[in-house]
Amino acid sequence: MVKRTTGMGFKSLQAKLATLVVAVSTLVLLLFSAYDYVSVRHQKYVELETFTQQLAARSARTLLRPVWNVDLKAVESIIASELSDRRVFAMFVLEDDGRTVFTGVRNDGTRLAAIPLDETKDMLLYSEELSMDGQYIGSVLVMVTPEHVRKELLDQVIATGARTIALVAVLGFLILYVARRIVIRPLQRLSDTTHSIAEDKIYMVRAEKTHDDEIGSLVDSFNEMLERIEARDQMLNNRRKHLEALVSERTAELEEARRKSEEASKAKSEFVANMSHELRTPMNAIIGMTDIAEKTKLTAKQHEYLKIIKASARSLLGIVNDILDISKIEAQKLELEAIPFDLRKTLDEVTDLFGDRVSEKGVELVADVESDVPNSFLGDPLRLKQVLINLVTNAFKFTDRGEVYISISLASLEQGVAGLDFFVRDTGIGIAADRQEHLFEMFTQADGSTTRRYGGTGLGLAIARELVNLMGGEITVESEEGKGSIFRFSVPLRLAERQETRQYELPPEIWKHRVLLVEDNRSNRSVIERMLASMGMQCDSLENGAEALAVLERDASRYGLLLLDWRLPGMDGLQVVERLLAQKVALPPVMLMTAFGRESEVERAETLGIKAFLLKPVKIASLHRIILETFGFAEQGGDTVPEGLDMKEFNGVRALLVEDNIINQHVAREVLQSEGMTVDVAETGRVALDLLEDHTYDVIFMDLQMPVMDGFEATRAIRAMPKFDAVPIIAMTAHVMTEDKALAQSAGMNDYITKPIDRLLLFSALRKWVGPHRKQKADEVSPDGIAPEGLVPDRAGQALSSDTQAQGGASGTPIAPVLPAAGTGNGNGQQAPAKSMSATPRSLKDVLTVPEEQMPVCSEKVPLPKSLPGLDIVEGVQRVSGKEWLYLKILEGFLGAYGGSMVDFRALYEAGDKEGLSRKAHTVAGAAGNVSAKELRLKALAVEQAAGKGSDGLAVLLDALEVALEEACESMRTVVRMCSEE
């Protein structure tokens, strides 16, 4: 259907045509009217001039005799008769001098004594002489006004305008009427047809032809165009259908490809996760055994070796994480920690990793920290160390001689934030200028050949850049081929609240001994000189063995200590000593600097009487310790004490542990007590609130999922009490999902630690929220020393929930414990350590409250195995600070509490109590994690998640859980029997 348009806007053709007609007609008529006006005006003024001349001539004739006779009355009478014509403004009779007025009268009857010159501007003036017999006697002056002419012209203009408007209106209407019929209507119909086709997309419609003129030709052309469009539209429709079929086919292919890609990505993620798990497991064993070994009696050198092993293992774990970091970076999910750390220890851990590189390649490694750089910062030491390791690894990879120099300096210090500048310089092959801008891109190498010659994936520098950017800094490179490279990065780090200050001072007795330092590397020599100066010792430096030989041959008694590098140009350090000894020179104590792993050098040096050895790169702590040992002084608090936690750091700190699982209670409590803390235990949030009414705590550890009142509700209740606003609450739970962390934070918890408990993370959190040496006020302890109501004191005077026995008795059948039977002793009234399984069953609470001296311990002849099916024993012992007796106690407690828990699981499943099933699985998973029964923990977590979501397949998951539980419990029984039979 053709739609008619009725728009009459100014932009329409009809409006434009009407405007044009009116404008042209008006213009033409105005031109004619103007011409007529000019003509009439000229004619009127000519008539007025003629009238003025005739009036003057007539008046002169009639006034001649009266003026001659000086008949004033007759003169005025004649003038008055002439002034009756309103065109005459005034008349004057002038005397013969032409200026003096004989008489003058204005048309309003006013006599005038002079000519009003100011009123003569628009007047017509005409003068006629008065002569009598040829004698001039005066003149007549006539003043005529054109006012009546103007009035006539105005009336004429108004009349002409009215006629023009009427004529234009009639003419315009006629023109528009004709134009509308002949032009506008056909065009309007054509326009309506065009709009209709554009809106409806119906190209079969044709425009109607009404005239055989230009418009008719336009309609014919338009209809021809429609025919072509219709044919093309039909062709496009056919092609569109064909393309839609192709798109559907390609979409199906892309969907299939996407599905396969997602499956491949999932398989890749699972592979990466599995590989990460497989690599972490042996690393955890290495770290765990190192932790255990560090707690034994060792020499300082053994401690140093263990530190290097542990730092290397932790670094390897970080390198394993690089694979995960790549995917995290691409997904923008890489996050940084903010924990206290010692910058110099972090740098030492980095340099320790490269001792073998120094030994193998003969490249010096120098680490230099400016003296004004603070020690302790808040940040992510693992990521900072990862950046340094990547840069130093890269430097060693491309450096075959010379040195790798690490430097840290303080760029700024404002409002507790330090700007640190790091740079790693090498003397390697350098990097071409055209490769430097792409150097920090993934999978990019210095040049095409370096991958084959030097190896590497090209990920290290890319990860380093992303980590530096996340820390709020930037990284750059300067390099020249053949001269080496300098990698610089700057990061802002917030200062830790507690700054550890180490004063490496020496006794005054040592200051008198002057040091002779022989070191060929200028950077290393400069760093060692500053170290010695900071200890108060004077030092002379030489750069080769020949110079040292000459100086010592001349006067060896001048020096009290010889600090000698083994690798020197021309003559090495040992050759210098041999030459001097051969010459019977009395040498001062000699300290030999050597690379890690040079055992042959050490043996050769010992045959020469050298007892002090210093590993490169030189650390001030090691230098300080060896100097003290050399001069017979024992170092106070030096490297002979294993690095790690300060054993008195948390003395006096009182903690409330809110945990319903008795196994978890004792693991957490023993770990906290081992660091000097006082711990009270509450098995529910309700009990915790009751305790808080009468006691004050420095920190609260809160489980999330508990009966009666869970951790979220308990935390909100605690935060509602104003006096506990400042008490930190740390979540300690097996829940690891991001939403759980968000819920904990919204409830008012300050931090979040996952189970199984990692001691380093636990005490890092304590340092952050509690700090060291927090003492309780005297009024916070009960005056009678009695534990709070509802708690039973254990051996160490700590509180153990009296209700936790129910967990063991209700959850399974207690096994025959490895504890001594009641009444057994050693003859002096003391309990003797058990050596065999007792036939007297004990409750779970009794098992866990047995003193350490009554627990069995596996002998060195039959040590604990590293692992059994379903049980990682090394990791389990590590979780309880290396205390085997405590681990055995927890294993037996687990067997008593959960050995027969499948009865409860089956009963809950049959009753349809999925909430109770989820809670029970959560409890078993937490306990399994604390004894390092990893497979059992995973199966219990799967049951917990499936029951919590109401998923199907619980029966299958329970069957898998039963298998894992039986396997783990059998391994636990094996361990218990093995130690009890000793």
Q: Are strands 799-801 and 791-793 parallel, antiparallel or unpaired?
A: antiparallel
- Give the residue extent of every domain in the chain: 14-166, 211-334, 336-446+457-495, 508-631, 654-776, 867-979
Candidates 842, 809, 807; CA nearest to 684 is 807
Residue 345: its pLDDT value, please? Answer: 87
Residue 271: its pLDDT value, please? Answer: 67
Q: Radius of gyration over alpha carbons of the chain, in Å?
A: 56
More confident residue, 616 or 634: 616
pTM tops 0.75, yes or no = no
Distance CA 879, CA 783 (A): 35
If phi > 0 it is left, if psi is from -120 to 50 it is alpha, else beta; for residue 169 that is alpha
Residue 815 reports pLDDT greater than 60: no
Choose which CATH entry (3.40.605.10, 3.30.450.20, 3.40.50.720, 3.90.25.10) describes domain 14-166. 3.30.450.20
If phi > 0 it is left, if psi is from -120 to 50 it is alpha, else beta; for residue 953 that is left
Choose which CATH entry (3.30.70, 1.10.40, 3.30.310, 1.20.120) describes domain 867-979. 1.20.120
Contact assessment for residue 592 and residue 564, using Cβ atoms and an 8 Å cutoff: yes
Contact assessment for residue 799 and residue 681, using Cβ atoms and an 8 Å cutoff: yes
Choose which CATH entry (3.30.565.10, 1.20.58.220, 3.40.50.720, 3.40.50.12280) describes domain 336-446+457-495. 3.30.565.10
Domains 211-334 and 508-631 share a fold: no
CATH (residue range 654-776): 3.40.50.2300
Residue 311: its pLDDT value, please? Answer: 65
Return the number of other C-beta atoms located less than 10 Å from residue 228's C-beta: 10
Distance CA 725, CA 906 (A): 43
Residue 979 reports pLDDT greater than 80: no
Return the number of other C-beta atoms located less than 10 Å from residue 225's C-beta: 12
Which amino acid, residue 72? L
What digits encode the pLDDT tens for the residues 16-75? 777 777 788 778 778 877 887 888 888 888 888 888 888 888 888 888 888 888 888 888
Residue 834 reports pLDDT greater than 80: no
Residue 787 reports pLDDT greater than 50: no
Residue 238: its pLDDT value, please? Answer: 87
**Class of the 508-631 domain?**
alpha beta
Q: Which of 22-26, 239-243, 461-465 has the highest mean pLDDT?
A: 239-243
- Burial 390-418, CB ≥16 within 10 A → b, else e: bbbbbbbbbbeebbbbbbbeeeeeeeeeb
Question: Which residue has 């509308």 as its token pair?
Answer: 180
What digits encode the pLDDT tens for the residues 566-589? 888 888 888 999 999 999 888 999
Mean pLDDT of 911-937: 86
What digits encode the pLDDT tens for the residues 243-286? 988 898 899 889 888 888 777 766 666 666 556 656 655 665 57
Contact assessment for residue 566 and residue 521, using Cβ atoms and an 8 Å cutoff: no
Confidence category of residue 488, pLDDT binned at 50, 70, 90: very high
Distance CA 941, CA 955 (A): 14
Confidence category of residue 647, pLDDT binned at 50, 70, 90: very low
CATH (residue range 211-334): 1.10.287.130
Average pLDDT value for the chain: 77
Return the number of other C-beta atoms located less than 10 Å from residue 885's C-beta: 19
Distance CA 652, CA 684 (A): 25
Q: Which of 327-331, 432-436, 841-845 has the highest mean pLDDT?
A: 432-436
